[in-house]
Structure 1
Amino acid sequence: MRATKLFKEFVESERSGGLILIACTIISLTIANSSFHDSYHHFWNTKIGEGSIEHWVNDGLMTIFFLLIGLELEREIYIGELSKIKNALLPVFAALGGMLIPAALYLSLNIGSITQSGAGIPMATDIAFALGILSLLGNRVPLSLKVFLTALAVIDDLGAILVIAIFYTKDLLWSNLLIALGIWTVLLILNRLKVRNLIPYLIGGVFMWWYMLHSGVHATITGVLLAFAIPFGNGDKRSTSYILQKFLHVPVAFIILPIFALANTAITVHSSFSSLLNEHYALGIALGLILGKPIGIFLFSFATVKMGICRLPRDINWKLINGVGFLGGIGFTMSIFITLLAFEDAEIINNAKLMILISSLIAGIIGFIALKIFLGQRHKKYSATS
C-alpha cells in the first residue's frame, strides 16, 4: 500500500507532537506538585474577559484542533482510507467497539449516580499519543497498521464530537444557535459557488464560533462544521482544504496541544492509586481505557471480518490488531476534554484527570510491549520464509 505524502506528513507531525505532549505533561505534573503549585494554578485561572486562561485554551484554541480533525475527516471520507467501503468498515467497526464497550463498563459502575455523565470519558483515543507510541517501534510497523490506527482514532474523534454535541450541551439559547447555523449555511453556499479564498471562511468561522460559544452548544463543534464548509475540490495541493490542513499541522501539534496539556494536567496529587480505585468513576475510567478499549476494538473487528462485512489487510494479523487496541486506550486529550464537560466538582475533575493519565500510561505500555513482541515474531516469520 502506498501512503500519500500528506498522510506521511500527518503521521510525522503526530509522532513528534505525541512526544512533546508527554514532555509537557511531565513538566505540568512536576510544577503542580512542587512549591510553585499555587502560582501555577493561579496562572491558568487568571481571568481574561469572560473566562480564565484555561477556559480560552479549552474553548478557543481547541476549536482550531477540532478544525484540523474536521479537515482530516473530510479528506479521509472523500479520497482517503474511508472513501473505500471495504477499507473504511474495519476501522469504523473497530472504533464503534472501542466506544461502546468502554462506555458500557463505565456505566455498569456509575449508572444512576451523579458521575454517570462521565461515560464519554473512556470512549476517546488520543491520536497524537497513540501514533507517538507506535512510532517508537520503528520501521517494522506495517503501513496498514498505521493507517488502521489513524483511521480508527479519527473516527473515534468523530464519535467524541457527536457525544459532546448530543450529551454535553447545556441549556440552549436558540437565537444564537440559529445565527451560528445561519453563518454556516452562508459558508456552505460560498463553497457551492466555488469561492476558494480562505478569508471569508475564516472570518465567518470566527463569528460562528462566537455565537456558538454563547448558544450552549460547545464552541469547539464550530471547528468541525467549518471544516466541512471549506472547499475540498479534488483534494490536490492547490485545494483550499489541503492548504489549510497542511498549514495547521505544525501549530496544532507543537503549540495548541502542548498548551492544552500544560493547562489541563496541572493536577495536584492528593490521592493514592489504591484510594482512587475506591471511587466508581475512577474505576470506570480505568476499566474503560485499559480493558474496554482493546476488548471492544478487537471483538468488533474480529466479528465483522468473520461475517464478511470487511476485510483484514494482508500485512497485519489479529495479534497486531490486539496490540493496537491497547494503544486505543490512550485517552488523554479527548478524555480530559470530556471530563471538563462531564463534571463540575473540582475534586472529581482532578481525580478523573489523574486516572486518565495513569490508565493511558498503563494502556500505552501494554500496547508498546505487546506490539514489540508481535512485530518481532512477525519479522522472524517473514525472514524465515524469504
Structure 2
Amino acid sequence: MSPPTSPQTPFARFVHSEAFAGLLLICTALLAFLWANSPWREAYATFQHLHFALTLGSATLDLSVQHWVNDGLMAVFFLLVGLEIKRELLIGELSSRRRASLAGAAAAGGMLLPGLMYALLNAGGPGAGGWGVPMATDIAFALGVLALLGSRIPIGLKVFLTALAIVDDLGAVLVIALFYTSNLDLAFLGLAALTWSAALYAGWRGARSLKVYGVLGALLWFFVLRSGLHATIAGVLLALAVPIRKPDPAGYLSSLTAAARPGRGEQVGARLRDLEDLLERAQSPLHRLEHALHPFVTFVVLPVFALVNAGVSVVAGGVGTVSFGIMLGLLLGKPLGVVGGAWLAVRFGVASLPRRVTWGHMIGAGLLAGIGFTMSLFVSNLAFEEGALLTQAKLGVLMASVLAAVLGLGWLWWISRQARPQAPSKA
C-alpha cells in the first residue's frame, strides 16, 4: 500500500509541473542538437522543412513543419501565457500592488539592459535586428533549476521568479507585436478585429462553453496569420476575452445541504453526482481552459518546439557578434537589470522583498532569469532569416541558457549553505 500523499497547493503543483517541463525541454533540445550535428543532419533539415497543407473550402494553408510549430502550436503556448498573465493580474501574485511593483521593476530592468547591451555591440551591423532575443526568460527552465535546490530556497523566491517571468512574457509579447511584425493586410486585420470583438463580447456576456472560444480562437488565429501580425498574438488576444469570475457561494451551500440530507443510497449518490457537476461547472472558463491546456503545452507544445528549433548545426555557422551580444545580454544584462530594477523599487518604497528572501537570493534569481531558451529561440526565428545569423543567434541562446542555469544553481546553492545555521563544534 502506497503512503498517502500530502495535499499540495495549486502553486506547489504548478512549480512541480514546470520543473518537469524543464527536464523534458532539456532532453528534447539535446536530442535536436545531437541530431543536427550527426551524420543524419540532412534528415533533420528535411524534417524541419517538410510541408503540410490544410484546405478549408477555397482557403489553403501550406506551411513547413517548422512554421506549423512556430505559428500554430506556439499560439497555444501564448494562449496559456495570456491566461496566466490575466489570472495573476486579477487574483494572483500580481494583484498586490507591492508584489506587482517588484516584479514589474525587475522585469523592466531585465529586458531593457540586455536589449541595450546587445544593440550597442551590434550597432550598424547585420545582426542589429536581434536586440529582442536576449530580453526573455524561460520560466520552465528557471523553476526547474530552482526545484533542484528543494526546500533550501524560500518559497517567496519561487513566487517572485514566477511573477517576474509572467511580466517578462507580457513584455516579450509586446515586443513581438510592435517590432517583429511584417507588412499588414488591412482586410484580414479588420476581420481579426471583428472576431476578437465577438470573443470579447462572449466573455463579457459570461459564455462558459469552451467550444465558443475554441471556434472564435481558430478564426482569430487564421485572420491574424494572414494579416501580417505574428499568429501567436492571437493566443494572447483570445486569453484576454476568456472570463474569470468568482462563483456564487450560495449555490454551493444549498447543494451541499441537499447532498447531506438523509435518504436512500441511490438518492444520496445522485445528489453527490449533481454536486460534482456543479463544482465542475463552477470553475471559471479561464481556470478550466488553463487546466486543460497546461498538460498539452507541457508534454507536447514545448518539447516539439525544442525538437524543431534547437537543432543548430555547428558546422553551418560559428560564433560571432550576434552570439556574443546574446550571451552578454543574458549572462550580464539580465542579472544586473533584474537586481537593479528590484533595488530601485525597494529603495523608493514602492515594493519590498518577499519574506526570507535576501539580496543574495535576488542575485541568484537574476542569474536564472538569463535562461532565455524558449522565448529567445522564438524571437531569433522572427529576427533572422535562415542562415549564419540565425545559427549564431541560436548558439548564443543555447550557450547562455546553459551557463545561466549553472551559475544560478551554483550561486543559490552557495547562498543556501551560507544561510544554514552551523552545528556547534564538540569540545
TM-score over 0.5 for the pair: yes
Of residues 42, 67, 73, the one that matches 2:79 is 67
The equivalent of 2:226 in structure 1 is 214
TM-score, scaled to structure 1: 0.95
Gaps of 5+ in 2: 1-6, 54-61, 248-278
Q: Contact between 2:376 and 2:397, CA under 8 Å: does it hold in 1?
A: yes
**Contact map agreement 1:10 1:249 (CA 8 A) in 2:** no
- d(CA) in 2 for partners of 1:48, 1:271: 26
**Number of residue pairs matched by the alignment:** 377
TM-score by length of 2: 0.86
**Radius of gyration: which is bigger?**
2
Once residues 416 and 394 of structure 2 are traced to their aligned partners in structure 1, the CA distance between those partners, rounded to angstroms, is 32
Contact 1:89–1:310 (Cα < 8 Å) also in 2: yes
In the other structure, the counterpart of 1:323 is 364
1:13 maps to a residue whose letter is S
1:351 positional shift: 1.8
Alpha carbons 1:109, 1:284 under 8 Å: kept? yes
Q: 1:357 aligns with which of 356, 378, 398?
A: 398
- Note if contact 1:98-1:123 (Cα within 8 Å) is conserved in structure 2: yes
2:36 maps to 32
Aligned to 1:251: 296
Q: Deviations over 1:9-58 (max 9, x none)?
A: 22111110000100111111111111111112101210112210011000
Correspondent of 2:243 among 227, 231, 236: 231
1:338 and 2:383 matched: no
Provide the residue aligned with 1:302 in structure 2. 343
Q: Which of 404, 413, 416 matches 1:375?
A: 416
Instruction: Give the one of 266, 269, 285 matched to 1:240.
Output: 285
Unaligned runs of 5+ residues in structure 1 are none
Three-state SS of the structure 1 residue aligned to 2:315 is coil
The code of the aligned residue for 1:339 comes to S
Give the letter aligned to residue 311 of structure 2: A
Equivalent residues of 2:48, 2:308 under 8 A apart: yes
Q: Return the offset for 1:271.
A: 7.3
2: CA distance between counterparts of 1:345 and 1:33?
17
Match of 2:57 in 1: none
Query: Identity of aligned pairs, percent?
Result: 44
1:120: how far off?
Answer: 0.3
Work out the CA distance in 2 between the residues paired with 1:298 and 1:338.
24
Cα offset, 1:228, TM superposition: 1.1
Asked if 1:178 is matched to 2:190, the reply is yes
Which residue matches 1:22? 26
Aligned to 1:45: 49
Partner SS, residue 132 of structure 2? helix
Q: C-alpha root-mean-square deviation of aligned residues, in Å?
A: 1.7
Distance, in Å, in 1 between the alignment partners of 2:316 and 2:227 is 37
Aligned partners of 2:316 and 2:391 also within 8 Å: no
CA-CA distance at 1:7 after TM superposition: 2.1
Secondary structure of the corresponding residue to residue 51 of structure 1: strand
State the Cα distance separating 1:368 from its structure 2 match.
Answer: 0.3
Seen in structure 2, the aligned counterparts of structure 1 residues 215 and 20 have a Cα distance that, compared at 3 Å, is same
Does structure 2 retain, via aligned residues, the 8 Å contact 1:95–1:156? Answer: yes
Matches within 5 A, 1:118-137: 118-137=130-149
371-380 or 256-265: bigger deviation: 371-380
Whether 1:260 and 2:301 are equivalent positions in the alignment is: no
What is the aligned partner in structure 1 of residue 215 from structure 2?
Answer: 203
C-alpha distance in structure 2 between counterparts of 1:116 and 1:176, whole Å: 30
Kindly state the Cα deviation for residue 335 of structure 1 after the two structures are TM-superposed. 0.3
Aligned to 1:188: 200
Cα distance in 2 between the residues matched to 1:344 and 1:127: 26
Q: Aligned partner of 1:199: which letter?
A: K
**Aligned: 1:169 with 2:181:** yes
| 1:6 and 2:7 are equivalent in the alignment | no
Contact 2:316 2:388 in 1 (8 A): no
Is the partner of 2:203 in helix, strand or coil? helix
- 2:333 partner letter: G
